[in-house]
Homo-oligomer: A and B are copies of this chain.
């Protein structure tokens, strides 16, 4: 139905020039607002442009300016409300500066991330915003940086790349949250993350800058402050999907000393935990306390309303966009602002149950 015959080919600057009776160069100058143009020519060209309903071809413009006015966003999963809110922040800011955004999902697979970066480079985006899915495999990032591309990281840092990363700082909010759990009497607090287990997180250095590492650090600090030592067996990686989470919960509850509280590293895990609890008739916070990262509208609507550590996702989105665009323009913006996560207390914390059952 649609493109019956591409009816009228879109008018080009040559058409406008002919209509106005001037040279291509002159028409371009009039429309582009650069160089010197007389009143008369300006008027004629504007009229011609209006008559033909001329719109400049951005592709052609990009060709020789080298700027495409487009940002590339490489993200794990845009369906995840965390990222879609970030995208909203990014595109709102970008739009205000005349940039558009191409989004590509990686599903947290490095191979896909590599492809995505390449595709976006090929499309000559002016800047790249990347949520790197593996802090160790970053050759592709290093390579595009060498080519002079502007890259900004979001949500996760990578050491040694020497580029900005917009992240929230989780240590203090986490320490505060875990402190409350400890005060309530919890000792066995499990941490669930979708992150794959890199042989062991205890190698520390590798993960030292990721949000997960920060959160675990905050957790350990809280234990230390209480004069306790955290049992790192309670950190569970690879909690992707409801089945995995379900299995992990079973494991945690069947330990010699069962977990009495769960920290969910993101909203998907938290939902899986909630679902599993409902299935097994476990009541929160009576049977299990729950802390989740990120605050979404529904978290205060569930039963019980969830205590969460929130980060200003939308604002962080705006900030990556701001810094990326500044980078493109060659501006310096000073140090990355600290986005501090904060604890929002609702009703998913309670005293631990004494014994099993």
Interface positions of A (Cβ within 8 A of B): 1-8, 10, 55-60, 62-63, 68, 70, 77-79, 81, 84-85, 87-88, 91-92, 95, 100-105, 118-124, 145-151, 162-164, 271, 274-275, 278, 296-298, 300-303, 327, 330
Q: Using Cβ atoms and an 8 Å threshold, which residues of chain B touch A10?
A: 147
A104 shortest CB reach to chain B, Å: 7
- Asked whether, in the complex, the Cβ of B275 is within 8 Å of the Cβ of A163, the reply is no
Between A7, A57, A300, A301, the greatest number of chain B beta carbons within 10 A of the residue's beta carbon is seen for: A301
Q: Using Cβ atoms and an 8 Å threshold, which residues of chain B touch A150?
A: 2-3
Q: Given A2-B150, A6-B148, A88-B77, do A300 and B327 touch, yes or no (CB 8 Å)?
A: no
Q: How many copies does the complex hold?
A: 2
- Asked whether, in the complex, the Cβ of A84 is within 8 Å of the Cβ of B91, the reply is no
Q: Given A1-B163, A151-B2, A302-B303, do A84 and B92 touch, yes or no (CB 8 Å)?
A: no
Between A3, A91, A104, A105, the greatest number of chain B beta carbons within 10 A of the residue's beta carbon is seen for: A3
In the complex the two chains form, what is the Cα distance from A303 to B56 in whole Å? 54
- Asked whether, in the complex, the Cβ of A327 is within 8 Å of the Cβ of B3, the reply is yes
A58 shortest CB reach to chain B, Å: 5
- Asked whether, in the complex, the Cβ of A78 is within 8 Å of the Cβ of B87, the reply is yes
